[in-house]
A and B are shown apart, each in its own frame.
Chain A
Amino acid sequence: MSDPEDLVSLAVSEQPRRDDLLVVDHVTLRFGGVVALDDVSFEVRRGEILGLIGPNGAGKTTCFNAMTGVYRPTSGEVRFDGERVSGRKPHQINRMGIARTFQNIRLFPEMTALENVMVGTDSQHFTSVPGALFRLYRKRAKPEELPVVDSDNGLVRAWQQTRLAFAKVFGISRHTLEERAGEQKGMALLRFVGIADRANDLARNLPYGYQRRLEIARALATEPKLLCLDEPAAGFNPAEKEQLLKLIRDIRDKGYTVLLIEHDMRLVMGVTDRIVVLEFGKKIAEGPPAEVRENPKVIAAYLGVPADAS
């Protein structure tokens, strides 16, 4: 097995081709008479950080939900890697390569931080009830996978040697290998987001900032091609926001594509490559941060000045 630190950077091996990873194609979404999204089109390119911004109620989260399959567009479609997203179940969409965090944190509060991340790593694993129960799918163990014999106590040592002999004869089950890989990768991810010191604490007992980071680690654990962050800086003070910016850049540098929803303009300007601006369910601007910042429509949307008066 490779160095666990490397496991985080698995996504780098994906060749970052300069094409569109996610395409939102003329998506309209109506709830009864309310038009939540009105003919919105944009795309997320591989390897970039795209910001999706807009004032409160502009349809950011609705757009997000349409992308991740929670809502089905009334017309138009969302394609990910060339395949239609809508109509699939949430866990299938996750397997396509989209992972997300939640605006209001939704961890598994009664599981430890490490277990939370391991739920994410489990999405690439295959052990089900028969495999866990009977430890099936055994394969010949590589030397480094064999159980260690390290105890000084005679009895314990004898037990360890029995286990070693057993593993040599019968091999190692998929369950064991997956557990081990999940734990290593989980710890590596916790270190990556900087919360490894509280790995064995229940998620509910973690401080707020840790919980936000844990959500990101859990999403990364599913090895997504696209990581969607829904207002990850909500409730953060400026220092924490700064750390978060660094983390998001680190994530991009690992080779992930990031979609960032945020209404804090300064945060978005500092980290994104391109920005899409929504207002009242319509796309009003798209482009690099500097360009978008100068766009009169955007200024109007944020400052409430009528567009023609500016």
Chain B
Amino acid sequence: MADATVTAGLALLAIVGVVALAFAVSHRLAFRIALRNVRRGRGRTVLLILGLLVGTTIISGSLIVGSTVQALDVHYTYLGSGYVHESVSATAPSGGFAPFAYSVYTDVAAAATGQSLIAGVTPMVITTTQVYDRSTGIPETNLNLIASNPNQSANLGTFHSLSGDALPGPTTGQVYVDEQTALALNATVGDALVVYGPHPVELTLTAIVQDDLRGAFITAGLSPGNVFLDLPTAQSLENLSGQINYIAVTNVGGQSGGIAHSSTVSAFLNATLASVPAAAGLSVQEPMKNNIAAAEQSGMSVQTIFLVLGLFSIVAGAMLIVGIFIMLAEERKGEMGMLRAVGMRRRELVFVYYFEGFVYAVGSALAGTLLGVAVGYLLTYTFSLLFASGALTSTAILQSFTVTTDDLVISYVAGFVLTLVTVAVASSRVSRLNIVQAIRDLPSPPPPRRWYTILGILGVVLVLVGLALLVPNAQGTSDISIPMLGGGLTILGLGLVASRFVRNRLAFSAVGAGLLLWAGVEPLHRLVLGSAHSGGIFIVFVEGILMVTGALLLYVFNSDLLIRGLLRLAGQGGPGAPRARIGLSYPARRPGRTAINLTIFALVTFTMVAIACFGATLQANLNNTIATESGGYTFFGFSTQPIPQLPQVVANNSTLAAQFSVTVPVVSGAVEVDVPGSAPNPYLDALYSAPTNQSASASFYATSQFGFSSTWQGMSSAAVYDELATNASVAIVDQTYAPVTSSVSSGPTAPHPTLTVGQSIYLRPPGSSTNLSVRVIGVMSQSAITGVWVNPQAASTLGYRSQDAFLLTVRPGASATLAAQDAKRAFFPEGLVLFNIVQILQTSIASTEGVIGLLEIFVGLGLGVGIAAMGILALRAVVERRREIGMLRSMGFTQRDVLTTFVLEYSFTTLLGLAIGTVLGIWIVYDLSISPSAAASGVSFFALPVANIALILVAAYALAMLAIAVPSIRASRIPPADAVRATE
């Protein structure tokens, strides 16, 4: 696919080159003039290229970041996949792999000998375990136990010691651990390790192995760590005599080459399993193929996010190109008029600009592509600083920095074509001039009526296209950005038609207000478009562009009113009045040029502020979610063996009692949930039940702070818990059972049944005929602990009585880390594993902060467009207004007055652009935060990052002022005697 894109890109480039060459031959004079224009101001050419390259840089940077993330994901996916292309296994109700007869392996291996695509088949046991290092006295829970026989697992690769020696694999009495586990246990070779299971065994640590393709299997070297045993020892440990729970299949062709055979081999394995009676319930998975596809998808998703957010900067860059060409045209108005006067046709004039733009496009696309590589590296480096932890080292991240030929070619072609198309449009526009007006430097007259007729026709076309997008997709499940764009085009088209009949101010102000309302008022979209649409990040671009366009139309067609008002305030006499008058008059009388600058600043600020608000809202809601999701508990835990008296044991252990204030035991199990009328049905989920005969500090019903998003007949939370404690025919469920109300989803998710409170559902243990009907009386707000909660009597009916799950709260002031260590030590034989709910959520918040920060840096590059625009416009203004400056100086303006006038003028444009961008950025995120999709994602309120926004605004304003500093100072220092007689 990428190759086809590259080929198409190169072909396009070749065509454009050939066409340009043909034009150059047939329009030699225009070509010569264009080259002379390029050469006549090298400094200006460099400046123009800098201004033009931003769009390409954004494209290039986005692609490279995507490739890097993809490379990183693929690297860890390969690492975690090892040489397992396909697997044969069944999922146990508890979530691990279910055991099956070893004979299945024998049958599969026998069949595989005739299959040329299979390199090897390995019988394995894979489960979780806990290990105690007798030598260091350190226990570690929740480790992967991976067992295979050395003589059967050669195809899975070779173990390597830390010094690089190849190792055969553990045999009886031996255990290998990977680097992660060794680190956790502080273990060294020779230590005695007790590996826990139904029949714990003490083994000698014979090797610490590298987290390479063999040692990092499943976890990719990330936590949790691996413990490797030989198969008989694992079977004995796990009480799996004559059984295994996993068959690994390795294809021919090497690690990546073998993926191509996955479909064929899977089909073969399925056919084989179908003929093996003992294989009933087993399924064939293609982990490597699926995981690699997911990794590539993840890279593309990142690429899409960066590209879509970068689109705002790309549009801003295109506006800058238009602005630059309009200025060039104004600068050369006289000579263009002369060329036309002496007989040059308008078409030739277009070619003069086209050829000049072509040269700039060639240079800027190259420079932009290369700068994008630097930007990509900068982002990767920042990523490595923010996210490196454990085996995901900063070195590994930096080593994943990837620049593909595809990225470079696509960036160059896209940037070049984008610049050239914009240049061509701008060239056509600027070469349309009246010869006399150009020579005498007279202003252009208002457009003739015919122009509005053309606009009206264009408007009709836009309305038709808009309606074609809007009407068929208005009420449906299509991507919401399609009808949203359709509505926007319809409004714009109607405005263009109206401009033929009513005053521009009225027509386009109405369009501006209409676009703002259409794109910015969430209840309006919900009303018109319903709430069943799907969508993604592209809607942010569509809404953003429509809103910014709306705001700018309102400004452009009403700027005189705004500035008149400001002048009334500032122009009432006094020393500041003349400076304000001059400073504000230029933006007022040149709204087109001002609008270009405003657009650039508004777009860039909009993106930055929106991302900042989005991040802050997400973080604030995540903070809020900690309370909702944790239910007031610090840890959720489970044990491999039941711990019937955990609250009492904790109470009697002074160390633990000093650390835990709440110790709630919970009965857990697996259950098939039958929600009538909803799919999938049945749905395998977890069942929880808390005993009722507990003290206050051990009672779920007394301590739970889990809230409810809906309750039956409006019951209070306390009433729901009371009912659950006493009524065996009721249940509560987690938030994932709530009906989906999202209009914007983040992507496909696994199907899940949905229900409403008051509905009856049926529960049964997997494979059992026992069926229990319960009425759902509450849907919890949390989705951290997913499953169905029932009364203890109901759980007992379903056969679940063992207390092997726990909710624990650490006393105020106590260390959660130390408390967890002590608890795990105390309940080590039972294999207690604790998850710090708060910490998990906080880690998620930190990751969100990091991602938001990266995106802010990336879109902040767009500020470069604004700064370039400001600098170029200010430089041009100094040349253009030399005589006016001289006149002002002759009337008594001081150098400082001239400087102040420039600062005022550009401050007005910058601050207005920043204000528009800020208001709209805040608006769009507020709008999204009150949408049903936000509520479904747990976002219930909007947060305004005042400090962050202030920083963005101050930085943007300071940089803009820095950009105009040199031209403004130069303007103020023009000797008045020279200036009053000056010609450009």
A and B from one assembly? no
